């Protein structure tokens, strides 16, 4: 559950939404356990459900209208040494579009292969490669100030 919550946070940049996405994921896995139980790689199947739940959450019309009025402080993680500059990482990830963010989180944070990422997101391997390249280029441009 912690891994799901962390990866959901990296995708959506909000702990409350991450908790919602994980809850939806657990409910979907419970409802479809026969299918999930037969999967060759249950972790990859669950990550696919989580990522698609987040993408579905992004498509909701009310989400586009609602804007947060103030940033609330997050609770410190159990191991603060894993990421040295959390806010910097969050800003960089927020600068990407949802698909690029999903591809980069799956490829470089969760260490999924190109094929696994393509399967999770339901896109071609070529799209994963191009979104990875564009996402990394966008991150480089933000970091170097060339955007």
Instruction: Tell me the pLDDT tens digit for each residue of 91-143.
Output: 788 888 888 999 998 898 888 899 989 988 899 999 999 999 999 998 888 88
Fold of 78-146: Arc Repressor Mutant, subunit A (1.10.10)
Q: Are 106 and 118 in contact (CB under 8 A)?
A: no
Long-range CB pairs of 57-63 (<8 Å, 24+ gap) are 57/12, 57/17, 57/20, 57/21, 57/24, 58/12, 58/98
Q: What's the pLDDT tens digit per position in 10-47?
A: 888 888 888 989 999 999 988 888 888 888 888 888 88
Domain boundaries defined on the chain: 1-64, 78-146
pTM for the model: 0.53
């Amino acid at each position: 559950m912690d891994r799901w919550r962390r990866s959901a946070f990296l995708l959506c940049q909000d702990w409350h939404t991450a908790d919602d996405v994980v809850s939806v994921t657990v409910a979907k896995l419970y409802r479809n356990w026969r299918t999930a139980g037969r999967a060759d790689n249950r972790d990859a199947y669950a990550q696919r459900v989580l990522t698609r739940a987040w993408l579905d959450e992004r498509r909701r019309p009310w989400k586009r209208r609602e804007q947060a009025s103030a940033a609330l402080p997050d609770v410190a993680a159990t191991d603060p040494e894993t990421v040295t500059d959390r806010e910097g990482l969050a800003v960089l990830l927020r600068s990407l579009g949802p698909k690029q963010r999903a591809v980069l989180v799956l490829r470089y944070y969760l260490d999924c292969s190109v094929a696994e990422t393509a399967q999770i997101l339901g896109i071609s391997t070529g799209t994963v490669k191009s979104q990875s390249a564009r996402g990394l280029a966008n991150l480089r441009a933000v970091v170097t100030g060339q955007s």
